[in-house]
Structure 1
Amino acid sequence: MSFYGIGRGPARIFRRITMYKRTCFTLCLAALGATVASSATAQDGADEPRRTRVALGPQMVPSYPGSETLVLRPLFDISRAEAGEEFAFEAPDESFGFSVIRGNTFTFGPSLGLEGKRASDDVGGLPKVGFSVEFGGFAQLEVGENLRLRAEARQGVTGHDGFISVVSADYVIRDGDRQLLSFGPRVTMTDSKYQDAYFGISPAAASPGLLAYDADGGIQSVGATVGYIQQISSRWGIYSYAKYDRLVGDPGDSPVVVAFGSRDQFAGGIALTYTFGRGRK
């Protein structure tokens, strides 16, 4: 499973991330409680006990698309595996989701994306963009033992109200669950509604320093993600990732990005993992 304003004062940063911290922390506690309960039940009497790995830590991400400043948000991941099986690979930057169709190499299911709000003060008085919730689905294909291809498509139902899709490929090198390294390219595509929300300037909002700008949609960014998991003991481990995206096309040329943001988008995080249950190590 698995995101500015630092130069404008600690108090403002705190207000901006409080909602995310509270929401994510509550979800983490709920998921962790359910995980402990289910793992205990499995160990007490199930014929086929399952293992659960929970990761929790901090990550630094852009507060909204095109921003040049990073904010602190929680990094949370949860993985399940049947007894005797390895944890399935999940890229650290993929959206929340679960499988409803799973074959030997093909997987399909729903996905959920979240995007932070953009305040009007962040972009010189341009319209704000509210907190965005995106619903959609994903499909992924495993090519051989080391390569996974994945496509996600989501529609925003709040905030930007636009459409976003991400195509990715990951090359995976692993030593069971003891160590895993993944890396691969990313291409993000968005429609005109999404791009106008973050990168466009309407005639009504234009000013002498910010001329009207219409973003037509298309490829928004290209980049790459690296993930690394290291098991320290049978229970404890480290989960980490680093990501880079480069804004291209209309988003990259946007006056909003030139004046208030950056074409270079960085993200990264590190978390401590704990594994419940017994099985493969």
Structure 2
Amino acid sequence: MAMRTLSACCLGLFLATAASAQEAAPNLADPTPAKGWIVTLGGSLQLGPKYDGSSSAGLSFMPSLSWRRVGEKPGFSAPDDSLDYALYETDRFSVGVAGAFRSGRYSGSNNRLFGLRDVPWSVEAGVFAEFWPILDRLRTRVEVRQGFHGHHGVVADLSADWVERFGRFTLSGGPRLALGSASYMRRNFGITLPESLANGYLAAYRPSGGAKSIGLASALEYTWSEQWSTTLFARYDRLISEADRSPLVRTSGQRDQFTVGLGMNYSFQFGN
């Protein structure tokens, strides 16, 4: 009887210990995702053409904003990507909305623009799609955006970037192609007859829609810490087709467009 009582006590002690251990041990299979967001604020200072086809350069500042869930791997973004938000994404494909800001062209910035209408700044809103034919190495992207305020045309940007990571460095770059509708091209490269007569220097010109430029872009990012990173980037565009034939380019500007810039990003955790 004593042996049976001792065995029962040992069994009870074992079950209680096992239950306590199970309660204290973490659930490694817990599917609950990490809480909170990593928000990245940034901006870049750029030196580039004052307007499409300009032969003079000016400084501009472009802000940037992105976010991801805590625990998610940081995604790749080229410096000349528009601000975007993915509505659907997988490891290789994403699609969503995109927006961009385009500075204007003002007659007071160049004597040769006298008599021409100003082209105010524009906000462009639309959609984007990305696809990685080679995961984490080759990215392709297309953006289609509608202009508001300064112009009311449609623009499209197509790009491809090869991405290489070396420790804290990320090197990327590839070809670019820009397209514009007839409304966009006429607003930015066209010259009406009254404008030509008032200017007395530039001939009248009415372009149609199509390809605007082809080019190359590259960027070198260095990650200083989990919070800070900087990016040095450059882009070259060659105006072609209807844009290249514009007197704004041939007579008072240039077809070769260069942009260089330096960006900085700061990341922080938000929420629990």
What TM-score range do you get, normalising by the shorter chain?
0.7 to 0.9
Between the aligned partners of 1:256 and 1:57, the Cα distance in structure 2 is: 28
Task: Give secondary structure in 2 for the equivalent of 1:126.
Answer: coil
Partner of 1:162: 153
Going from structure 1 to structure 2, the CA distance change for 1:150 and 1:260 (only over 3 Å counts) comes to same
Between the aligned partners of 1:233 and 1:130, the Cα distance in structure 2 is: 39
C-alpha deviation, 1:240, in angstroms: 2.1
- Please, which of 155, 163, 184 is the counterpart of residue 194 of structure 1? 184
- Please, which of 203, 206, 210 is the counterpart of residue 211 of structure 1? 203
Going from structure 1 to structure 2, the CA distance change for 1:63 and 1:100 (only over 3 Å counts) comes to same
Task: Give secondary structure in 2 for the equivalent of 1:104.
Answer: coil
Between the aligned partners of 2:131 and 2:117, the Cα distance in structure 1 is: 40
User: 1:115 and 2:102 equivalent?
Assistant: yes
- Partner letter of residue 243 of structure 1? R
Partner of 1:181: 171
Contact 2:154–2:184 (8 Å) recurs in 1: yes
Q: Equivalent pairs: percent with the same residue?
A: 34
Partner of 1:25: none
The runs of 5 or more residues in structure 1 that have no matched partner are 1-45
Between the aligned partners of 1:259 and 1:124, the Cα distance in structure 2 is: 14
C-alpha deviation, 1:161, in angstroms: 1.3
Going from structure 1 to structure 2, the CA distance change for 1:97 and 1:47 (only over 3 Å counts) comes to closer
Contact 2:65–2:83 (8 Å) recurs in 1: no
Normalising to structure 2: TM-score of the pair? 0.78
Partner of 1:14: none
User: 1:220 and 2:212 equivalent?
Assistant: yes
Partner of 1:149: 140
1:226-265 pair list within 5 angstroms: 226-265=218-257
C-alpha deviation, 1:63, in angstroms: 2.5
Bigger-Rg structure (1/2)? 2
Between the aligned partners of 2:227 and 2:179, the Cα distance in structure 1 is: 39
Between the aligned partners of 2:266 and 2:123, the Cα distance in structure 1 is: 29
Q: Deviations over 1:107-126 (max 9, x none)?
A: 11111121111112332321
Between the aligned partners of 1:74 and 1:158, the Cα distance in structure 2 is: 20
Higher strand share: 2
Partner of 1:134: 124
The runs of 5 or more residues in structure 2 that have no matched partner are 1-32
Task: Give secondary structure in 1 for the equivalent of 2:220.
Answer: strand
- Partner letter of residue 151 of structure 1? V
How well do the aligned residues superpose, as a CA RMSD in angstroms?
2.1
Going from structure 1 to structure 2, the CA distance change for 1:158 and 1:75 (only over 3 Å counts) comes to closer
C-alpha deviation, 1:175, in angstroms: 4.4
Between the aligned partners of 1:139 and 1:182, the Cα distance in structure 2 is: 19
Task: Give secondary structure in 1 for the equivalent of 2:86.
Answer: coil
User: 1:54 and 2:24 equivalent?
Assistant: no
Q: Deviations over 1:29-77 (max 9, x none)?
A: xxxxxxxxxxxxxxxxx94344333333422232221112222122433
- Partner letter of residue 137 of structure 1? V
C-alpha deviation, 1:82, in angstroms: 3.4
Number of residue-to-residue matches in the alignment: 232
- Please, which of 39, 50, 53 is the counterpart of residue 66 of structure 1? 53
